[in-house]
Structure 1
Amino acid sequence: MLDFLRIVLIGVGATAIFDLYLMLLARLGLPGANWTMGGRWFAHMPRGTFVHASIADAASIPGETAVGWTMHYLIGILYVGVVVIVAGLGWLDAPTLLPALIVGWVTVLAGWLVMAPAMGAGFAASRRPNKWTVRAVNLSAHTVFGLGMWLVALVFAG
């Protein structure tokens, strides 16, 4: 039970660091995340729609912002679970940077290969006019997420 609690705390902490980083980038004029649109995408799934030409043009669903933020943090927790599966339970007691960074980098593929195409932005945001900026932000934010997993894990280590 303690291991599960640490996974949750690390996931929440690392996701919060990810969000703070994106807020900083947004203040600098770079593209951030819109968890309302992510929530709309998730909220359409139980209704049978998984792919949209444009998620912004899809029907709004009550509570979509809360759904988006909730899923964002749950996925962050899930990714910490992946680090523990890959690196072993011992990682929670003696966290190392490389497994967290690798998972952080690999998770960017979920956005590029699944979320962006399903929300109408194309593979790796290829339909966005600022696709290279979006890709750079995605990669840097997921690097920060990996660093965040490691740093927060150090706080809660054995």
Structure 2
Amino acid sequence: MFENIDWIAVVVLGIGATLLLDVWSIVLAKVFAVSSLNFCLVGRWVSLMRTGQFRHTAIGKATAQNKECALGWVIHYLIGIIFALVFLIIMPSNWSYSPSFWQALLFGLITVCIPFFVMQPALGLGIAARNTKKPVHARAKSCASHCVFGAGLYLSTLVLTLF
């Protein structure tokens, strides 16, 4: 299954799409004062897994971990690369030569299932952020962000085809 994978494309698409997501988050924060996920807390969550703790009632109240911010950012980009790998596996082998914006956008939107049903509950935010102050806003922001990630897959593919 992995023998026909273009690993350079996987890494470029994963990093490119994640980078566009980060630019999107910066714009939201600077222009609209909309905060983003704190990747230090993601690092804390992953770091605490080594102690057997996979779920938290409130990750922000858990004990801070050494190098949690660096770990959180690495995990953020690693997840982007993993999503790119899954995307390229399920797409036809010639997708990179004739990419479809809508397929990439739809895939990006589908990836929101991971934070809705894995990350947010594990961090103490509930399924689909239901335990946040404004769950509808949190869900909309997550969906929009994952669509931006999907657009990033498409745009990164276009850039990759230039080389």
TM-score by length of 1: 0.94
Query: 3-state SS of the aligned residue for 1:22?
Result: helix
Give the one of 47, 58, 63 matched to 2:62: 58
Give yes or no for contact 1:117–1:125 (8 Å, CA) kept in 2: yes
Runs of 4+ in 1 over 6 A off after TM superposition: none
Indicate whether 1:29 and 2:19 are aligned. no
Aligned length: 158
SS, match of residue 34 in structure 2: coil
In structure 1, the residue matched to 2:8 is 5
Q: 2:118 aligns with which of 114, 121, 131?
A: 114
Q: Is the 8 A contact 2:108 2:147 kept in 1?
A: yes
1:29, CA displacement in angstroms?
A: 1.5
Q: Is the 8 A contact 2:39 2:72 kept in 1?
A: yes
State the 1:2 CA deviation: 8.3
Give ranges in structure 1 of 5+ residues lacking alignment: none
Q: Is the 8 A contact 1:31 1:134 kept in 2?
A: no
Q: What per-residue deviation string (whole Å, max 9, x for no partner) do you get for residues 32-73 of structure 1?
A: 121000111111112211000100011111011111100110
For residue 91 of structure 2, what is the aligned residue in structure 1?
87
For residue 106 of structure 2, what is the amino acid of its counterpart? I
Higher helix share: 1
Distance in 2 of aligned mates of 1:103 and 1:46: 31
Counterpart of 1:143 in structure 2 is 147
Report the Cα distance in structure 2 between the residues aligned to 1:128 and 1:42, rounded to whole angstroms. Answer: 21
Partner of 2:49: 45
Determine what percentage of the aligned residue pairs are the same residue: 35
Please point out which of 115, 124, 129 is paired with 1:125: 129
Q: Matched residue of 2:112: which SS?
A: helix
Query: 1:116·1:124 contact (CA, 8 Å) conserved in 2?
Result: yes
State the TM-score, normalized to the length of structure 2: 0.91
- Unaligned residue ranges in structure 2 (runs of 5+): none
